[in-house]
Amino acid sequence: MEGPTGVVFPAIEGRRSTTALGRAVVADALRAVDPVGARSAEHETDWRHAYLGHFRRLVEAGLLSGDAAVTIARDGLAALHTRMRVVDDEGRERGLDEVFAASDPHPPLGTATVGGDGPVEREFTLPYRGDRLRGDDLRRRLDAWVAAGVVEPSCAEAVGTVLDNPDWLDLRDQRIVVLGAGAEMGPLTSVLRWGGDVVAVDLPRPEIWQRVLRTARRRGGRLHLPLAPGAAATDDDQKLAAHAGADLLHRLPQVARWLDGVDGRLVLGNYVYADGATNVRVAVAVDALTRHLQGRRDDVALAFLATPTDVFAVPGEAVRHAERGYARRGVGRRALRVVSGGRLLHRNYPPGADPGVNDSLVPQQGPNYALAKRLQRWRATVARQSGATVSFTVAPPTRTRSVLRNRALAAAYAGAHRFGIEVFDPATSNTLMAALLVHHLRTGRPASAHPWQDEAYAAAHGGLWRVPYAPRSALGLAVLLGLGGART
């Protein structure tokens, strides 16, 4: 048949418009708390470029109260679930919330379990710039990051607590579900290194599974992976990879049945990513799966990694750190600000803001990326308020393959250190984030008085929250400096 299948955008006047959906969802999310902002989003005529202000307004409106933030999250989720559609293989269309009500015509997935023969590690170590930091060396690195404003103090404290409790790394009492098992930022490698059980979900692409299986064979944990219906488990990894995988976008009920059958406490980790509009479709599919499993089981914890290139409320101490840096700016940077008419290198926050609003949205990533990531934040907020265990952590800027494919972003990352931003290698980021996941699971932090405080807790933003300059006002210069560095 023609046209997309699986989870799709709603058709409006014959077109499945990502712009129309984005405007409508943001407007619905704001309507009860900020009706003026809702009308502004609804009538926006240049969504592709002007979405930045509307996504910032979602955060600012939520600062009115904790209830306001939760209302925005709930209404935003409801707007997505009400609007998004599912088209089956025969072209029949239904609402997203009906996808689990109908009988699934696809046979159930099989399961293979792969054990590695590597050692099980019970000490947290962190790969960093060619070394593997442990013990006091790792604590000194954490202290240095705090002093430089690269991570929040609560991040260093949480990782330090994991260092103090090495038995926490034994995750055999959990089933860590890694949605997007081939992603560079997921905890798959760390959990397997610590001897835990990983339930891996990714697309049925042999090249992904060959890489995942090689990782599993070298570690001490166990990997559980879905197999195509009728396929048999085998010790031949090449044959196993040829039949492994599951399709969240097009076979959502099939994946849900498979995960519902997993024994043990589920930690549903969302590490999926796709390019362009498909990113929203996959994010919505994962959210529908999340809500379905939460309705069927009472043992589901959730895990998310937030992008640092978004809008966040930040603690007053982060604002004061940025202000101290702004006061020390050099003559050259002051002159550049004057010559540019204030467009470049303006201050990150108004003096004394508490909380401040850090706006690190990057226009090149686009409104679909922003919506997909905001959806995850909304689900974390709603789940946390309902009493679920939620690990939500702001991850650092990282040299992932998806970032480096974008020439402007790659250049900006190459020049970011000139402004006090540290960009991490994937191995450092995913190991650090895995430690924070362990901390959240073992401590079970209760919800804070306001959702923004939960989002800010243990953030490893790479410095974006604490640099003197608003990130977008330095972005163009970072790109130029990065391109110049690449040519030399």
For 195-236, write each residue's pLDDT tens digit: 999 999 999 999 999 999 999 999 999 999 999 999 999 999
Q: How many CA atoms lie within 13 A of 316 on its CB side?
A: 4
Confidence class for position 487, pLDDT limits 50, 70, 90: very low
Confidence class for position 3, pLDDT limits 50, 70, 90: confident
Q: How many CA atoms lie within 13 A of 378 on its CB side?
A: 29
For 320-374, write each residue's pLDDT tens digit: 999 999 998 775 666 666 556 567 888 999 999 999 999 999 998 999 999 999 9
Rounded distance, CA 170 to CA 193, Å? 10
pLDDT of residue 337: 60
Nearest to 182 by CA among 216, 208, 206, 210: 208
Give the rounded percent of residues in the chain with a pLDDT score beyond 70. Answer: 96
Question: Does the pTM of the predicted model rise above 0.85?
Answer: yes
Among the residue ranges 4-18, 293-307, 349-363, the one predicted with the least confidence is 4-18
Mean pLDDT over 269-297 rounds to 97
Token pair, residue 251, equals 């076979």
Domains of the chain (ranges; CATH) run: 6-104 (no CATH), 110-317+347-486 (3.40.50.720)
